[in-house]
Amino acid sequence: MRFDIVTIFPEFFGVLDISLLGRARQSGVIELGIHNLRDYTHDRHRTVDDTPYGGGAGMVMKPEPWGEALDDVIESADDPLVIFPSPAGEVFTQRMARELADESHLVFGCGRYEGIDQRVFDHTQTRARMKLVSLGDYVLNGGEVAVMAMIEAIGRLVPGVVGNPESLVQESHEDGLLEYPSYTKPSVWRGHDVPPVLLSGNHGAVDAWRREQQIERTRRVRPDLLPE
């Protein structure tokens, strides 16, 4: 699986060197390319933004550097999917993470300021598969944090990244419910007991209790996830 990221903050993605994804990169399961949008400018100030046509607050990212950066990344790829993080996009879910983990090459274009010139999207769409994707209904200053979250969610679903694939199954959202609560030793801590069923050795009872907890928790916190 290959990820390419175009951004004006390449340093931001240094954290992808560490932890689970860092190990996956060392072992070659995941390849990562970080591209500085300013490397595709040609003026002394490496300008990536300008004032919006029609007026208004904020700045808009210029199309030319984006065009050249995406030329570079897309032309050297075989059928990549280009993703622009945007609060105006389709909402990112575990289902989408699973679909994206089946891709072999994802290209992320991180916008900043008030957005990217619309023609970058229009043009990209003529030469690659493209998606606008939002993390949720709130506003971030730019796409970088969103891309980090998406890469973490997608990357861990790529075979060979998470050591024990079993641990991917019993998780919040994988079965449409929130996760059940987990406990480890000691069995009593600061006056709080571990639920006795978990100490019973009765696997059927444990499974039933965990399912109940998932349903109860989902009803309380995220009733929107439950079927009618």
Q: Site residues (CB under 6 A) for ligand 6GU? A: 85-87, 133-136, 138-140, 142-143, 146
Length of the chain, in residues: 228
To ligand 6GU, the closest distance from the beta carbon of 100 in angstroms equals 14
Per the annotation, does 22 bind a ligand? Answer: no
SS3 87: strand
To ligand 6GU, the closest distance from the beta carbon of 139 in angstroms equals 5
Per the annotation, does 140 bind a ligand? Answer: yes
Distance CA 174, CA 98 (A): 10
53 or 138: CB nearest ligand 6GU: 138
The residues that bridge with 81 in the sheet, in sequence order, are 106, 129
Q: What is the rounded radius of gyration, in angstroms, for the C-alpha atoms of the chain? A: 22
Per the annotation, does 160 bind a ligand? Answer: no
Instruction: Give residue 101's identity as a one-letter amino acid code.
Output: A
Residue 125: both structure tokens together: 């769409």
To ligand 6GU, the closest distance from the beta carbon of 195 in angstroms equals 37
Q: Which residues contact 193 (CB under 8 A, 6 or more apart)?
A: 187
**Which residue is closest to ligand 6GU by CB?**
85
To ligand 6GU, the closest distance from the beta carbon of 132 in angstroms equals 8
**Phi-psi group of 178: left, alpha or beta (phi > 0 → left; psi -120 to 50 → alpha; rest → beta):** beta
Per the annotation, does 137 bind a ligand? Answer: yes
Per the annotation, does 102 bind a ligand? Answer: no
Residue numbers in the known binding site for S-adenosyl-L-methionine are 111, 135-140
Residue list for the binding site: 111, 135-140
